[in-house]
Structure 1
Amino acid sequence: MVELVRKGVFLFKSRMIVEAADQLSEYEINNRLLSADLGPLSDCSISQETARANTMAYQIMTAHNLSGDWRKLKLRFDSLASHDITYVGIIQTAAASGLKEFPVPYVLTNCHNSLCAVGGTINEDDHVYGVSAARKYGGIFVPAHQAVIHQYMREMMSGCGKMILGSDSHTRYGALGTMAIGEGGPELAKQLLNKTYDMDYPEVVAVYLDGHPIPGVGPQDVALAIIGAVFKDGFVKNKVLEFVGPGVGNLSVDFRNGIDVMTTETTCLSSIWCTDEKVLEFYRIHGRPDAYRKLEPGEVSYYDGLIKVDLGRIVPMIALPFHPSNVWSISELNQHAVEILREIEMIGKKQLENPNVELRLSNKVVNGRVKVDQGIVAGCAGGTFENIAAMAQILEGKSTGTDQFALSIYPASQPVNVELINNRAIEKLMIAGAVLRSAFCGPCFGAGDVPANNGLSIRHTTRNFPNREGSRPGDGQIASVALMDARSIAATALNGGILTPATEIDFPAEIPSYQFNKQIYDNRVYQGFGKAQPKEELTFGPNIVAWPKIRALPQNLLLKVASVIHDPVTTTDELIPSGEASSYRSNPLKLAEFTLSRKDPGYVNRAKAVQALELKRQTLSNGVVIQEVEEFFRPVLKDEKQDVNQLQQIIRDTGIGSVIFAIKPGDGSAREQAASCQRVLGGDANIAIEYAAKRYRSNLINWGMIPFTISTGDQDKLRVDDYLYIPGIRQAIINGEEKVQAVVVGAKGTTMLELKLEDISQEERDIILAGCLMNYYAN
């Protein structure tokens, strides 16, 4: 089904894979090509360096690179995209750093807080701010319920050979020939200020598709099979996935988009696909044929690894709680349901670490089959035209039943919705019992259709992290999400919630034609790029608050450990929850109150107590030492006989802050607030074995927090309330040091800890020294 090749490979004419081909002669290669009926090479060069330059990823990235050195990329993007829980902070950051006008098309969509259901006026206040910012700076404003962010970007902004940067982790348009990257807000602020996105050239891994999907298998099934194969050992972490092979042409564009958007869950950096006549037809339908050009690798292309996918062997899949990589075939789950679900219960109990909730899944087994409570198809992954049309084919003339099971469907855009109305798919689904809603991302992050306590929801959305569906463990609530394809969700709905793969039912698997009505957007979307109105006043609601002042990095740091997390992976949802907390994204002070609230409820008070001491430290005057500040320093001072002046100088040079330790933090969302909320509460660093994604590490740096790493054997040296003294940290950052020594003082005594400063560029060091990106630009 999915085979991994964990070493470099050459691909010849996008059809033949040869491992270690650098050891083969041109004669041997041409013999293989002739025997495969592919004809000889026109270019005899098969060196690794030349072949690496023949990948689509190389061609696109180097075309956007301003450094002159392909190994050290400085990228400028063709356009930017944000939604209504990210664009306020990004524009505020850029404006504080000198923004006058958006230099590239910047799309502000409203698909996350669009229900305006929590917090009174604050969500619509953000939307009003967005309109005023689009007018002032020359942006594109997509009002609420018109489109989810990634569907609008597919329909209106993608283009073959382009690059797009978005402040949402599922920024992926590779199937349309566009390399897209999801990042934290500060990286978009840099682009708005005509700065670059800097990184080392990433490794590129080929995804070789072969064969045809069998009837009843959809894009989510293929995506989950790939995620399940590559996530756990980080095979494609921070790499680019390049989709090639004969199987690409056997997939519709909607099918490709459905796989592509889920590549985020592999932890890859970006993706790109070969383009063909089907992609050209997509652009013709959307009135943008000029956006198409054929993309394919050169005759000989080199990849740092390969994922081979036999589409004909993919079966309906399900990702069980609490991660998209926890993948099983639906048939396997049904055969061993009690055993598998009890194992998930045990894992969940350990991961949730919450005595107030009791996870129960094994009781979902009824007469030997799993029975679920809810089905949801929504967002950039599920809400596409072909997914929903297929559901209508399955449910036409039938019923979802009158029991507890409920089915909700969210088309990804108004144009998709209108066409589903035109071909009567919506009518068929509503008659069957489905509820149709507007273009909204809520079910993907816990702001819509929250299940009942201990409910199990099957969803064609992007994630199923703990509590991401909206439950609140602090109130004794727990619910769970399993990811599935829309076709199998419809088949399950047909059976009243009994888990059913779509391959077990007969339905007409014909793909209906699609017509795009651009008038819907012409009548509602504000197109302001190139039309900035500098005299326009920004409209601020009472919840929109500027970032608090952040100090620069002091000479030394004295940190107190405010949280220790030993889970194998810590998601951004656990660092700062989604759902109701999202309404406060424009208010950094209020949002910070939610930090780690679902994982470690005591964190905020611990961090605040340390922050209060730092504020007192900053007010010290000559000859005066506040007793509680002095007492905070005493555990790490080797000589307790220092006089007042010596102690005063040490305190003056040493910043007090908090720090968290997690084994692998930052999987999931690109949200910058996972880092900025810690910073607002006085956090100075994270300590990890490794970071789950580049975007989280970037967020830490852009908010002035040091992304320390330590060796695996040192993780037990840190406990909550331990002191961590790092003398000379500022000079170490200035000098480009890659290691510093810290003194750890805790209940078990004093020990030394080596903190690593890995792969931090000079500019990133300058940002850390300044205290945050805003300070860096202000300086």
Structure 2
Amino acid sequence: MIKLYENGVYLRAGKEIIAGEDFADSGQKEAAKKGTISWSVLAAHNTSGNMDKLKIKFDALTSHDITYVGIIQTAKASGMERFPLPYVLTNCHNSLCAVGGTINSDDHIFGLSAAKRYGGIFVPPHIAVIHQYMREMMAGGGKMILGSDSHTRYGALGTMAVGEGGGELVKQLLNDSWDIDYPDVVAVYLTGKPAPGVGPHDVALAIVGAVFKNGYVKNKVMEFVGPGIANLSTDYRNSIDVMTTETTCLSSIWQTDDETRSWLALHGREADYRALSPQPLAWYDGCVYVDLSAIKPMIALPFHPGNVYTIDALYENLTDILREVEKESERIGHGQARLSLLDKVENGRLKVQQGIIAGCSGGNYENVIAAANALRGKSCGDDVFSLAVYPSSQPVFMNLTQQGAIADLIGAGAIVRTAFCGPCFGAGDTPVNNGLSIRHTTRNFPNREGSKPGNGQMSAVALMDARSIAATAANGGYLTAATAEERVPDYAFDPTSYRHRVYQGYVKGATQQALIYGPNIRDWPELGALTENILLSVSSKILDEVTTTDELIPSGETSSYRSNPLGLAEFTLSRRDPGYVGRSKAVAALEKKRQAGEVSELAPVFERIRQIPGQQQVDPLKTEIGSMIYAIKPGDGSAREQAASCQRVIGGLANIARQYATKRYRSNVINWGMLPLQMVDDPTFEVGDHIYIPGIRAALDRCGEPIAAWVIRASGEVEEIALYMENLTAEEREIIKAGSLINFNKARQAG
């Protein structure tokens, strides 16, 4: 089904894979590196003149309504007067406006006022989810798009798209660049043709399952090539492509063909087509070989998209597999709640309580048509099981209505709703306590469906393709793999709803419109510059294999506070370490006292520091104090910058990790002026201990070299430990020294 090549490969004529060690002329490798699609796209957008050190300028930006307020506020504080490139502000995350009174609607009005003032594109609530709008109206061959959402992926249309934290979008709004070393590029070679009933989520989950745990494509570009692409429609490709985020890759790009051209032409944008394919000889740093004909209906069980089984394999080992998930739920619930699954097995079949087909992965036209085909003339039943379907945009919804698919779904008992991303991050359609929801959405992290283990509430999500979800619905909620699929009628795109409702400010230009602030929209608090020496207070220690951004700052009900930095920060680690916020705020209070000239509470700690060789003259008043989180591998998941900014605004000064799960989370840490420290050894420090790091500003200029630090334990014992930081650009070093991207930009503007 899927094979991973241990070493790099050459791709000859787009069809022949040759393992690197088997290629006769290794002298062609450097030239062949330039033969990938990725090289051509990155080279066209690089402004550095050096392909080893890229400085990328993007063609367009996009954000949604839990990220754009903070981005615009930051850019405004940094001197931005106009959006210098197309910036699409969508409203698909807080569009229900059901939590927090007027808060969410106030954010939307702020976004519209910003689009008018700075010349942006504003997509009102319920019109489209962020990535469907970008596919339909913005993506095109050879382009690069940056979005403040982790699932910013338009590779199937020939666009290399990247999901990053808000700070990276701010840099583009200030005419700065996205700076990275040239990434490794991995070929995803597709061959064969999917069997009837096998959908794009089945293919995507199989790939995620093969590459996530081993980090095979981490921070690399996935380049989709091979003859199998011709057997996939564009909707099918889009649904696979958006899930590449769950592999922790950097971005994705696909070879394009007449199918791509036809899809863009259907959307009135044939001029945006560009033929993209590898050169006759191209070198890839790895290869994921996928035989599409061997893929079977899949399921990703809680609590990660990489926890993948074929549905057949699940049923062959049902009891053992479900028991392992139950054990994991006990760990996640920390004794407050657990998920039971074995009690949901009836006569050898697993009964689920809910089905959802939604968002940028599930709500595409063809996925919904497939579900409607499976349910035509059938019933979802009158028991606990329910099904909700969210078409991904109003044009998709309109044509589904014209095709009769909406009537088929409603007639079967499904609920059809407008475009919304909520089921992907825990807002809307929260299942019953102890329930199992099957979803064609992007993620099934813990609490992603809205449960609160700390309050004794836990449910969970398993990921499946829309086709198998519909088959399950037609079977009364008993988990069922799809086996057949009817013909998909041709899609007709009608942009009338966009033409009538989307504000096209990039065309109209900037105006004198004042920004409209609601009471929940607050400016970022003042942050101080980094001092030469620092004292970190260990405020949380997480030894889980991976710590997701959902655990760092929960999604769902917290979304209403995304425009209120201090209000949102109260939820930091609330579902993983509820005592963290209080500990970090206590450290922040000590730092405020230091700035006011008072450090007596830490006198015993500094007495121990003065006994360290060379530190006899340490000045507590010139030593910044901040909180610190240790996690083995933090940052898997969302691009939202709040996963880092929430730590920072309540006193965070550093993270220490064995490795960072994604570049985007590490970028967020840096842009908020925190140190992305790492250590090889297991941590011997505990919550409440202090870590003293002298000469940290100088250490920033020696990335990769060991950084001497000392643990001062509550007992008074002192132990030296070794830390380090991986590569930082010159600008990133200065951002950390300044204390945040905002401070860096203010200083640069003043200069």
* TM-score, reference length from structure 1: 0.94
Which residue does the alignment assign to 2:226?
A: 245
Which residue does the alignment assign to 1:638?
A: 611
CA distance in 1, matches of 2:35, 2:621: 56
From 175, 182, 190, give the equivalent of 2:163.
182
User: Which AA in structure 1 matches 2:557?
Assistant: E
Give yes or no for the alignment of 1:684 onto 2:657: no
- Taking the TM superposition and a 5 Å limit, the aligned residue runs for 1:80-479 are 80-350=61-331, 352-479=332-459
Three-state SS of the structure 1 residue aligned to 2:11 is strand
CA distance in 2, matches of 1:639, 1:310: 60
Deviation, 1:194, is 0.3
CA distance in 2, matches of 1:116, 1:353: 29
Which residue does the alignment assign to 1:740?
A: 707
Query: Contact 1:317–1:485 at 8 Å: present in 2 too?
Result: yes
CA distance in 1, matches of 2:599, 2:692: 19
Aligned CA-pair RMSD: 1.5
CA distance in 1, matches of 2:137, 2:27: 39
Which residue does the alignment assign to 1:33?
A: none
Q: Cα deviations across residues 608-632 of structure 1 (Å, max 9, x unaligned)?
A: 1111111011001xxxx45324345
User: Which AA in structure 2 matches 1:459?
Assistant: R
CA distance in 1, matches of 2:76, 2:532: 30
Query: Contact 1:142–1:524 at 8 Å: present in 2 too?
Result: yes
Query: Contact 1:636–1:723 at 8 Å: present in 2 too?
Result: no
Three-state SS of the structure 1 residue aligned to 2:718 is strand
Change (3 A) 1:246 1:765: same
Query: Contact 2:212–2:248 at 8 Å: present in 1 too?
Result: yes
From 620, 624, 631, give the equivalent of 1:655.
624
Which residue does the alignment assign to 1:765?
A: 733
User: Which AA in structure 1 matches 2:683?
Assistant: D
Which residue does the alignment assign to 1:517?
A: 494
Which residue does the alignment assign to 1:719?
A: 686
User: Which AA in structure 2 matches 1:636?
Assistant: I
Which residue does the alignment assign to 1:501?
A: 481
User: Which AA in structure 1 matches 2:504?
Assistant: Q
Q: Cα deviations across residues 421-447 of structure 1 (Å, max 9, x unaligned)?
A: 000000000000000000000000000
Q: Cα deviations across residues 702-747 of structure 1 (Å, max 9, x unaligned)?
A: 0000000100xx2231211111011121232246573211110225
The percentage of aligned residue pairs carrying the same residue is: 61
Deviation, 1:507, is 4.2
Q: Cα deviations across residues 638-692 of structure 1 (Å, max 9, x unaligned)?
A: 289x9xxx98x71111011100000000000001000000000111000000000
From 577, 601, 616, give the equivalent of 1:600.
577
CA distance in 1, matches of 2:468, 2:513: 50
User: Which AA in structure 1 matches 2:519?
Assistant: P
CA distance in 1, matches of 2:599, 2:120: 50
CA distance in 1, matches of 2:385, 2:531: 57
Three-state SS of the structure 2 residue aligned to 1:10 is strand
User: Which AA in structure 1 matches 2:590?
Assistant: L
From 553, 564, 579, give the equivalent of 2:556.
579
CA distance in 1, matches of 2:737, 2:704: 13
CA distance in 2, matches of 1:419, 1:476: 43
CA distance in 1, matches of 2:38, 2:20: 21
CA distance in 2, matches of 1:439, 1:346: 35
Change (3 A) 1:460 1:23: closer
Task: Judge which range, 755-764 or 680-689, deviates more.
Answer: 755-764
Query: Contact 2:120–2:504 at 8 Å: present in 1 too?
Result: yes
User: Which AA in structure 1 matches 2:411?
Assistant: I
Three-state SS of the structure 2 residue aligned to 1:457 is strand
Which residue does the alignment assign to 2:667?
A: 698
Three-state SS of the structure 1 residue aligned to 2:223 is strand
Change (3 A) 1:122 1:470: same
Q: Cα deviations across residues 322-361 of structure 1 (Å, max 9, x unaligned)?
A: 00000001111122211101011112322x1522112212
Three-state SS of the structure 2 residue aligned to 1:92 is helix
User: Which AA in structure 2 matches 1:559?
Assistant: L
Deviation, 1:533, is 3.1
Which residue does the alignment assign to 1:532?
A: 509
Query: Contact 2:605–2:712 at 8 Å: present in 1 too?
Result: no
Query: Contact 2:599–2:621 at 8 Å: present in 1 too?
Result: no
Which residue does the alignment assign to 2:600?
A: 627
Give yes or no for the alignment of 1:775 onto 2:748: no
Three-state SS of the structure 2 residue aligned to 1:301 is strand
Give yes or no for the alignment of 1:755 onto 2:742: no
User: Which AA in structure 2 matches 1:60?
Assistant: V
CA distance in 2, matches of 1:757, 1:738: 8
Q: Cα deviations across residues 563-604 of structure 1 (Å, max 9, x unaligned)?
A: 000111000000000000011000000000000000000000
* TM-score, reference length from structure 2: 0.97
CA distance in 2, matches of 1:384, 1:751: 56
Deviation, 1:59, is 0.1
CA distance in 1, matches of 2:675, 2:408: 55
For structure 1, the residue ranges without an aligned partner over 5 or more in a row are: 26-44
CA distance in 1, matches of 2:78, 2:202: 44
User: Which AA in structure 2 matches 1:14?
Assistant: G
For structure 2, the residue ranges without an aligned partner over 5 or more in a row are: none
Which residue does the alignment assign to 1:31?
A: none
Three-state SS of the structure 2 residue aligned to 1:393 is helix
CA distance in 1, matches of 2:577, 2:668: 21
Q: Cα deviations across residues 120-143 of structure 1 (Å, max 9, x unaligned)?
A: 001000000000000000000000
Change (3 A) 1:235 1:702: same
Deviation, 1:534, is 4.5
Which residue does the alignment assign to 1:553?
A: 530
Change (3 A) 1:501 1:705: same
Change (3 A) 1:311 1:736: closer
CA distance in 1, matches of 2:545, 2:288: 24
From 23, 28, 47, give the equivalent of 1:66.
47
CA distance in 1, matches of 2:333, 2:492: 50
User: Which AA in structure 2 matches 1:321?
Assistant: P
Which residue does the alignment assign to 1:568?
A: 545
Which residue does the alignment assign to 1:38?
A: none
Query: Contact 2:333–2:454 at 8 Å: present in 1 too?
Result: no
Three-state SS of the structure 2 residue aligned to 1:717 is coil
Which residue does the alignment assign to 1:728?
A: 695
User: Which AA in structure 1 matches 2:277?
Assistant: E
Three-state SS of the structure 2 residue aligned to 1:716 is coil
Task: Judge which range, 337-346 or 598-607, deviates more.
Answer: 337-346
Q: Cα deviations across residues 64-88 of structure 1 (Å, max 9, x unaligned)?
A: 0000011110000000000000000
Which residue does the alignment assign to 2:2?
A: 2
Change (3 A) 1:612 1:206: same
User: Which AA in structure 1 matches 2:662?
Assistant: A
Query: Contact 2:608–2:718 at 8 Å: present in 1 too?
Result: no
CA distance in 2, matches of 1:577, 1:732: 33
Q: Cα deviations across residues 12-42 of structure 1 (Å, max 9, x unaligned)?
A: 11111111267415xxxxxxxxxxxxxxxxx
Deviation, 1:212, is 0.5
Change (3 A) 1:492 1:733: same
Q: Cα deviations across residues 166-207 of structure 1 (Å, max 9, x unaligned)?
A: 000000000001000000000000000000000000000000
Three-state SS of the structure 1 residue aligned to 2:527 is coil
Equivalent residue pairs, number: 745
